[in-house]
Amino acid sequence: MSDKAHSSADDSTLVRAAQDGDMGAFEELVARHRDKIYARAYSMMRNEEEAIDLSQEAWVKAWQRLKQFHGESSFATWMTRITINLCLDQLRRQKRQRSESIEAMDEESGGVERQMPVVTVNPTEGLERGELRQRIDQALSQLSYAHRTVIVLHEFEEMEYKQIAKTMGCSIGTVMSRLFYARRKMAALLADLKKPE
Amino acid sequence: MNRLEPEIGEMKLELQLKLQAYLDGELPARATPEVTDWLARDAEARALLAELQNTRGALKTFEAELKLPESREFYWSGIQRRIGQLERTPSVDEPPVWLSALLRRFLAPAGALAALVIAATLITRQLHPGGATAAMETETAFGNAFTYRDYASGTTLVWLSYPAENGFADFLPSDTLR
């Protein structure tokens, strides 16, 4: 398949060609979906370098396992799942290296967050996109990995509670309370960031 | 001040989570009236719903803006290099099946046996603290390891019959790694 044919082919054609060993077809798939895959890794890791590294690792894994992709979901969804799993593995490794369980601390402080006053003004209203992005980025960085992950899987990946529970290895109730806590915390952080200096 | 008084601390968590599930379209139909009634009569519930919606909306915008900060060529070259490396060298994480089988079958029992022999050697040394000078040979209980000890020179040699010829490898103790 020529470069021109690659760029005009749909994903499933490219996947089939890549499964037959066509590296050019795989390169085209990378070019098409690299931003999304990087965005997913960055959302979870909060570190540009790590996100680039893990997203590349995800593409390598995908190449190795391409024969296992049978088109039950879209290629982009399949790729994203590989990325999420790699990020979760990495985050768990990092968590194990810490001396205390930040996650446990967050669960304990969840009660405090539930009692926070409701943010009544939309804290992102009227902001320029660049500024908005910067504030959300800052706020997301202040969440623990468990709370950030649940936000990423639900808001960005549009997974249902049940799917998130399966991916993160916890109960649906835990997913619901983590999501609630994370959203409330985000709202409070965004409101604080909007306050004048 | 961006926040509304009074606080919503008294709201029951269960109802709050149901409100969230309602927003996410995950609330079972039978539980919906409870939430809609609450929203109809309570301004704080409506404020909480608005807060959750605002946060969700803001996050959607954020995700759409993230772009890979590397050129297509540079990014691809990194992937291509890693694939090339993998295809040239066998994976360290995943040894070939035949090698795993060999390790499981022979090296683990041999390791356990070596530990036994070392222990026996140390005990023997303690029982004969420098008195005996003659060389000696010991066969272990498993019949496939021998030690040769020369107390005069302080030399110990251990022979292992490898692989085990008496079926020992097939009957590992429970605490031996397989």
pLDDT per residue over A51-83, tens digit each? Answer: 999 999 999 999 999 999 998 899 999 999 999
Handedness of CA A82, A88, A91, A93 (dihedral sign): negative
Q: Is residue A20 packed enough to be buried (19+ CB in 10 Å), middle (13-18) or exposed (0-12)?
A: exposed
Cβ contact (<8 Å) for A30 and B8? no
Give the pLDDT mean for A143-149: 91
Cβ contact (<8 Å) for B59 and A191? no
pLDDT, tens digit, 9 for 90 and up, residues B15-44: 999 999 999 999 999 999 999 999 999 999
CA distance B15 to B34: 8
A129 and A55 within one domain: no
A85 and A22 within one domain: yes
Where does a domain end: A63, A95, A127? Answer: A95
Q: Is residue A197 packed enough to be buried (19+ CB in 10 Å), middle (13-18) or exposed (0-12)?
A: exposed
For residue B155, the SS3 value is: strand
Residue pair B52/A151 in contact (Cβ under 8 Å)? The answer is no
Find, among B45, B9, B16, B55, the residue nearest to A193 by Cα. Answer: B55
Give the pLDDT mean for A114-130: 72
Cβ contact (<8 Å) for B82 and A176? no
CA distance A27 to A165: 33
A131 and A48 within one domain: no
Name the residue range of residue B27's domain. 13-65
CA distance A152 to B56: 11
Residue pair A21/A1 in contact (Cβ under 8 Å)? The answer is no
Comparing B152 with B134, the larger pLDDT belongs to B152
Strand-pairing partners, residue B160, are B145
CA distance A132 to A193: 10
pLDDT, tens digit, 9 for 90 and up, residues B73-119: 999 999 999 999 988 876 555 555 566 666 667 776 777 788 887 88
Q: Evaluate whether residue B125 is within a structural domain.
A: yes
A90 and A7 within one domain: yes
pLDDT at residue A101 greater than cutoff 90: no
Cβ contact (<8 Å) for A60 and B82? yes
Domain count across chain A: 2
Residues in A closer than 8 angstroms to B8, CB to CB, are 115-118
A36 and A117 within one domain: no
Helices (H) and strands (E) in chain B, counts: 6, 3
Q: Evaluate whether residue B85 is within a structural domain.
A: no
Query: CA nearest B45 in A: which residue?
Result: A118
CA distance A87 to A81: 10
pLDDT number for residue B135 = 54
CA distance B177 to B165: 20
A90 and A8 within one domain: yes
Residue pair A80/A16 in contact (Cβ under 8 Å)? The answer is no
CA distance B42 to B6: 12
DSSP state of B9: T
pLDDT, tens digit, 9 for 90 and up, residues B112-148: 788 887 887 777 667 665 554 545 555 555 555 566 6
Q: Evaluate whether residue B164 is within a structural domain.
A: yes
pLDDT number for residue B145 = 59
Phi, psi of B26 (to 5 degrees): -115, 10
B128 contact partners, CB below 8 Å, separation of at least 6: B151
Domain count across chain B: 2
Question: Which range has the worst mean pLDDT, A113-117, A124-128, A142-146, B44-48?
Answer: A113-117
Residues in A closer than 8 angstroms to B67, CB to CB, are 35, 38-39
pLDDT at residue A168 greater than cutoff 70: yes
pLDDT at residue B170 greater than cutoff 50: no
pLDDT number for residue B91 = 53
Comparing B176 with B32, the larger pLDDT belongs to B32
Name the residue range of residue A46's domain. 3-95
Query: CA nearest A30 in B: which residue?
Result: B76
State the DSSP string of A63-96: HHHGGG--SSS-HHHHHHHHHHHHHHHHHHHHHH
From chain A residues 119-158, the ones with a CB under 8 A of any chain B CB are 119-124, 129, 132-133, 136-137, 140, 151, 154-156
Q: Evaluate whether residue B135 is within a structural domain.
A: yes
pLDDT number for residue B113 = 80
A107 and A34 within one domain: no
pLDDT at residue B175 greater than cutoff 50: no
Where does a domain end: A46, A71, A95? Answer: A95
CATH number reported for the structural domain that contains residue A135 in this entry: 1.10.10.10
A112 and A39 within one domain: no
Find the helix or strand (DSSP H, E) in which B56 lies: helix B43-65
Residue pair A46/A141 in contact (Cβ under 8 Å)? The answer is yes
A138 contact partners, CB below 8 Å, separation of at least 6: A189, A193
Where does a domain end: A70, A95, A120? Answer: A95
A83 and A34 within one domain: yes
Does residue B6 have a cis bond before it (omega within 30 degrees)? yes
Does residue B163 have a cis bond before it (omega within 30 degrees)? yes
Q: Evaluate whether residue B31 is within a structural domain.
A: yes
Query: CA nearest B82 in A: which residue?
Result: A60
pLDDT at residue A18 greater than cutoff 70: yes
For residue A109, the SS3 value is: helix
Token pair listed for A172: 């649906």
